A and B are shown apart, each in its own frame.
Chain A
Amino acid sequence: MDILSLSFLAFCALLLVVYFLVPDRRQWVVLLVFSLGFYLLGGWRNGIFLLFTALTTWAAARWIQADADRQQQTLKAGKATLSKEEKSALKARGKARRRRILTAYVLCNIGLLCVFKYVHFALAQADALARLFGGRVNDTIHWIIPLGISFYTFQCVGYVADVYWGRCKAEPGFWRVLLFTSFFPQVTQGPISTWQDLSGQLFAPHRFEYVNYSHGGQRMLWGLFKKVVIADTLAAPLVRGAFAGYRDYAGLSTLVCGFLYSLQIYADFSGYMDIMCGLCRMLGIRLTENFERPYFSKSIAEYWRRWHMSLGAWFKNYVYYPIAMAKWNQKLGKTAKARLGKAFGSYLPATVALVVTWLATGLWHGASWSYIAWGGVNGLFIIFSMWMEGPYAKWKQALHVNESTWLWRAFQVCRTFVLVTFIKVLPEVGTLADGLGFWRQVFAARFWPGTENLVPGATTGHLVLTALAAVLLFVTSLVQRQQPLTHWLARWPRWAHYLAVAVLALVTLYYAGAAAGTGGFLYAQF
């Protein structure tokens, strides 16, 4: 279902009415019905894979939980009779058994994700390899990737891993696990929530509250505005033109369009999140936040803690920490410490974990070398910053840099924004060579656009509106530093508040009409 359609608005209105009409304890059933309806409207075949994931998730979690409970009971029963060694052996056997279940589950689901997402990439690489030896591998597969598979698979894997680690109990009801898997506001583009965060929200009774309705509705509207007006209408045409024809652009025009891409993807993705978080808020559900004014970050590492936060948290919890804390990695660190020095040894386990995490993050975003390189460059910057922490501190001391001044903070924010934009654009222009070529164009012989407009093909009016939109995002981000926008608006005189909401709605509706039938969400492709 198109999120930017009247049918989606009608769908939300119907959900709101039904949700608050049914008895509290049945509200989650309404969410399940609407979620499945939303998902199946995108194609019933998608539902088969979603169902498979939900079913295996439920079964694996239950199995692990039952095994852990059984072991606990055995230990309890044999508290007096079992020796310490017997208890340890029992625990080790149980853990190994549960690890086997977890491994089989992860292989099954991540395997399914890989098959759908990476089969073409794998075949292309196989073909390239085969050509070296005079052979060929033809890609005749025409699968369509099930909607949201990257998001719901990660969410479910996280849940089963949490059950394995004892962070949460397995849910006995299959239908509840199915809702956790298919909850429509997050199934297509996240956020990737943990069971602990989401289950309490989904299955708790919610009463209709005006403040939730009002704040949620306004947040939805703000999200629609960001998506429809800023991302789709203002930034997207300029960015599309630049990515397709950057070779004819002046250096400054290329640079501006690179920054506009940062604006577009932020307005697009955070717009979606605002729509969905707003809708959930209307239902009384607090969805995991995915953004915390990321372009105000002072380093790339901080940026990734504030951009697509749920994905970052997932990789941190389920990839980075397990690798960083793995026995073999710790051993590697100790060996390196003994042979290559204390500093090297202490950074090595984290570096190994970061390399794997960022390459995996790149691969998650897209099955291409550009995305792998994108992940690699992100990781490289973060690893470099980590290794250079000591020298940086010394340099800053030597240069008498006062880190508490706004000027220094502004420098850090601008530097991070430029670096982040550089990295973001790399996989989006086409091939990796195109991405690098795009940035090379900034330093082309002709930097100033000359007689044509700053961005070729764009009218002055369009550029002015885009600049105003960027200023609006900047100002609202500054406001959000202190308080949510809805709280800020609530302090306005009532007539001004109403007028602001009405104008925002009309402007959004106006541009939504212009863009009728175009544009999906950028993050849906991941």
Chain B
Amino acid sequence: MRSFKRALRVTAVTALLCALLSALVFEGYYQTTQYIYMDAGIRRELAGSVDTLFCCSSQGKNALVPAQYDLFTGANSYNLGGAQITMEGRYTLLKQELSRNPVKTVYLELSFESMSRNRRSEGIEGDLYLLARLDNPLQRMAYFLTHFHPGEWRQTFHQTFRLGLLCWQDILTGKLLEPAFAETKGFQPEESVDLTLSRQMLAACHHAETAPAVIRPENLRALEKIVALCREQDVRLVLLTVPISPTLIWKTANLDEIHDQLADFARANDLEYYDFNLYRNGHYAPNLFFVNERHMSQYGAEPFTRNMADLMARVDAGEDVTGLFYPSYAALETDRAGADGLLD
């Protein structure tokens, strides 16, 4: 028995030492802002003052500019978007911010992939970023244990340890960086890339792709949790889809099907839903306003955010905005093709 107790004690001490050494390396990463997604410190500083939140994926992170929105509406907003972020991840961040801010409105950005994304096949990337955006080790541990499959633990350890070592290297060589989103409040500005396709290419790729239209149950559950959370906190929740490149709209065959799914969800939950791809006043040319087919550049994001704020002001004023939107992607295509030829 004494032998067994000693074995337990030695194992516990060794495990504790391993945990302490790991934590030392990990915190080198978590306590710095060496990577652009690390905005925990900025959000902590803003705590108590934010009244509008953009709860987004990377598409929303690139498209919604808090500074523009604030200028137009007088609000104090923050963009919570993140690359590869899961719906559960969005819920976690949103819950944290709602608990420490007097939030009145949440804009939940839903891209066409947001409900069909598969965390298991996509891997740990999004959740790794999210861990670095949480406030303290306890939150991180809780999120890790509930959102990472045991099969991913080794890889998670490796990635975090590697980033920790790199950050310690930066700390020791005095190369610490300032947080990236302090001024942009979570928005990620990027340069435009010309995505224009030739007429031949456009002709060849019309409706050649299909977006996954299967709603994954885990995404739906997380979305329902977000809806319930906002109801519970008496926060206005607005669903919106930010613009994707017209070339992608042209290529994708089943956008109406996905749009209808999202609209049905909004209706069923008595929520507002605006798909800005269908907004009549918002045509964003592929050669100017995008970084890639799914993400807007800074030059697209600013006018879009103004458009969005303007529309919300009209909605708030009681105006019926239904007519400002095409009823479907089919109608959009017919109109655009008729007016401009092939998406000029």
Contact = CB atoms under 8 A, between A and B. Distances in A.
B254 interface: no
Contact of A513 (B6, B13, B21, B155): B155
A217 B150 CA distance: 22
A502 B21 contact: yes
Contacts of A516: 154-155, 158
A406 B252 CA distance: 75
Contact of A6 (B17, B21, B150): B150
B129 interface: no
**Which of B18, B22, B162 is the most central at the interface, judged by chain A CB atoms within 10 Å of its CB?**
B18
B14 A514 contact: no
Contacts of B158: 509-514, 516
Interface stretch (A30-38, A148-156, A189-197, A206-214): A206-214
Contact of A498 (B6, B7, B17, B157): B17
A446 B70 CA distance: 67
Contact of A213 (B7, B154, B159): B7
Contacts of B69: none
Q: Which secondary structure dominates chain A's binding surface?
A: helix
A453 B153 CA distance: 34
A513 B159 contact: yes
Given A208-B3, A210-B3, A498-B14, A509 B157 contact: yes
B87 to A, nearest CB: 25
Interface in B126-167: 150-151, 153-159, 161-162
A506 B22 contact: yes
A250 B331 CA distance: 65
B4 A208 contact: yes
Given A6-B150, A516-B155, A214 B21 contact: no
A7 B13 CA distance: 23
Contacts of A512: 154, 158
A208 to B, nearest CB: 5
Nearest to B6: A210
A301 interface: no
B154 A509 contact: yes
B14 A501 contact: yes
B10 interface: yes
A419 interface: no
Contacts of B151: 6
A499 interface: yes
Interface string A215-226: 001000000000
Contact of B3 (A7, A209, A511, A514): A209
A214 B8 CA distance: 10
B4 A503 contact: no
Interface of B: 3-4, 6-7, 10-11, 13-14, 17-18, 21-22, 150-151, 153-159, 161-162
5 contacts: A210-B3, A502-B17, A502-B21, A505-B14, A513-B155
Report, nearest first, the 7 A-B pairs whose CB atoms are least far apart: A513-B158, A210-B3, A513-B154, A502-B17, A213-B7, A502-B18, A516-B155
